[in-house]
Structures are given as C-alpha cells and as structure tokens.
C-alpha cells in the first residue's frame, strides 16, 4: 500500500467537484497519487414502503422476504452503478486538472469506519465541509466532518464550495504540540512551497509566546518560505477571522478539536465555530 497518497472522500453532491479540484491541486503539488473514495451507506431500514402489518401466512411471509431481498439487491446494484459513473467522471476531471495518477474506490459501509481502515495509506485527506445531508438540511457544517476529524490522525483539508488555487496561507499557531508538528510539516512538504505564510499567534497571553513564534518563523524561513509573523492578543476565533479577511488569506492551517466530544457538546467547539464561519479551505491538524 502506498503511504503517500492523497485521499479525496466524495459523495454525490454538488460539492464533489470542488473536492476533486482541490484534491487534484494537492496531488499535483505533492507529486502524489490521488484516490477518490465513495462510501455507499447501508440503510437496512429502507423497504418498499408497503404496509406489512398484520398476520400473514408462512408462504406469504417467505414471498415477502424474497421480494424485499430482491428489491434491496436491485437498489444496491443501482447505487454501485451510479457510484461508478460518478467516480469515473471525477477521475477524468482530476486528470484534466493535471493529477498524474488517479484511482477510484467504492465501498459499502460507514464513512468513519471506512476512513479509519484506510488511514495508514494516506498522506492527506480531502473532505468537503458539506455534502448530501447538508444540502438537504441547509447545515453550515456537514454532520460527518467532526466525527471524521476526531477519528483520524492525518492532516485533513476541509474545503468549501468553489475552487481557487491558494495564494496566501495562514497558520493559526498556538505553540502547542499539534501546531508545532504542523509548522514542521509545512516546512518539509512541497504542498505550500513558494507561497507566502502568515504566522498568527493569538488567544491568552503566554510569557514564552514570542519565543515560540520566533521558533515557528525561523523554521519556515529556513525551509525557504517568506514569513510574516504576528502576535495578536484577544479571542482566538475573532482574531483569526479578522486576520483572514484583512490579509486576504485563502487557506487556513490550524489545530482541530483539542477537547473531548463531550466537552464540545456541553460548551461548544472553537474549531466547529471557525469552520462554520470561514469561507476558505482549512487544513486541520490532529
């Protein structure tokens, strides 16, 4: 198994083309193979819609079960065929965008579990911030995003609708282990090579904040990046959002979901809030 691939997780929504475009961009810059993964969710509760209540004889029951099984099998075949055509179209789109090696894979199952099984072969995961369910419910953030990000341990690029090749990148740096690893990753990866980096540290004041920020800036500059550093006190979410707008940032890098799911449920999540309010792709670090 290749452990350097870009994995693009797609569903049959209008956001899939945007995921494909960012995935092709990343694979091209990283000179990495690209794979599109489409997970067909099982819905065993779906039936024919007929009323099967009441007492029925043994022969009728066997006939009913046989018919329902045949209907389920037909639905599964139809879903596979639709998925195959959908994936082949995205593959052609990525090849036309310059990705050199593109594969497709379709699986039945549950998204989070499937991605966890695939994780060891992944260098970067591309995920739409919204999908089919969000289209129906008009949610700002797809229901799978937080679960997937919490479950995996690889960088995840969550993308919004509309592809624009990133030109100005910002790292929301907090001095912690996760964002330190993120700085090192950016310095070593060809993904952002040649792009200016805005390095922002905000939130509660720390006595060693300047030293940590200098380390991050020096690490990136040593790798050849043009770096602008800023130490801006204040609420991190507000400062990040304001800086993205003021500096015309078109890709954000930040740590994700540092607290437990229970704590996020009770007190909210800064990561989720930023993803809901942000209109630019965000690379989440775990």
117 sits in which H/E element: helix 111-118
- Min mean pLDDT across 66-75, 117-126, 145-154, 209-218 is at 66-75
> Global pTM?
0.81
The answer to whether domain 5-43+78-159 and domain 169-280 are alike in fold is: yes
Handedness of CA 55, 59, 63, 68 (dihedral sign): positive
CATH code of domain 169-280: 3.40.50.620
Q: Tell me: the pLDDT tens digits for 42-72? A: 654 444 445 444 455 566 777 677 777 776 6
Residue ranges covered by each domain of the chain = 5-43+78-159, 169-280
Q: Tell me: the pLDDT tens digits for 89-115? A: 999 999 999 999 999 999 988 888 888
CATH code of domain 5-43+78-159: 3.40.50.620
Alpha-carbon distances of 149 from 17, 63, 125, 146, 156, rounded to whole Å: 21, 44, 10, 5, 7
Answer for the pair 10, 90: CB distance below 8 angstroms, yes or no: yes
Tell me: pLDDT of 280 over 80.
yes
CA–CA dist 245, 280 (Å, integer): 10
Alpha-carbon distances of 238 from 109, 141, 146, 255, 273, rounded to whole Å: 38, 19, 21, 16, 10
Answer for the pair 33, 62: CB distance below 8 angstroms, yes or no: no
CA–CA dist 254, 210 (Å, integer): 18
């Amino acid at each position: 198994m290749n452990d350097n691939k870009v994995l693009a997780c797609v569903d049959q929504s209008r956001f899939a083309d945007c995921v494909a475009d960012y995935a092709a961009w990343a694979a091209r810059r990283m000179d990495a193979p690209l794979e599109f993964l489409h997970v067909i969710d099982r819905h065993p509760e779906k039936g024919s819609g007929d009323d099967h209540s009441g007492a029925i004889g043994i022969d009728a029951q066997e006939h009913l079960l046989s018919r329902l099984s045949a209907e389920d099998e037909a639905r599964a075949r139809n879903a596979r065929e639709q998925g195959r055509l959908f994936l082949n179209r995205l593959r052609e789109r990525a090849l036309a965008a310059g990705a050199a090696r593109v594969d497709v894979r379709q699986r039945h199952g549950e998204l989070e579990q499937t991605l966890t099984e695939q994780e060891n072969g992944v260098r970067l995961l591309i995920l739409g911030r919204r999908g089919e369910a969000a289209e129906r419910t008009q949610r700002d953030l797809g229901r799978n995003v937080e679960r997937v990000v919490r479950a995996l341990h690889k960088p995840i690029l969550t993308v919004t609708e509309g592809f624009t090749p990133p030109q100005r990148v910002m790292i929301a740096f907090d001095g912690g282990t996760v964002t330190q690893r993120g700085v090192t990753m950016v310095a070593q990866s060809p993904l952002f090579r040649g792009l200016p980096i805005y390095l922002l540290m905000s939130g509660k004041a720390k006595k060693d904040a300047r030293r940590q920020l200098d380390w991050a800036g020096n690490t990136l500059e040593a790798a050849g990046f043009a770096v602008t550093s800023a130490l801006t006190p204040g609420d991190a979410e507000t400062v990040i959002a304001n800086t993205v707008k003021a500096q015309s940032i078109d890709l954000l890098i930040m740590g994700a979901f540092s607290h437990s799911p229970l704590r996020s449920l009770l007190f909210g999540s800064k990561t989720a809030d930023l993803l809901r309010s942000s209109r630019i792709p965000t690379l989440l670090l775990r």
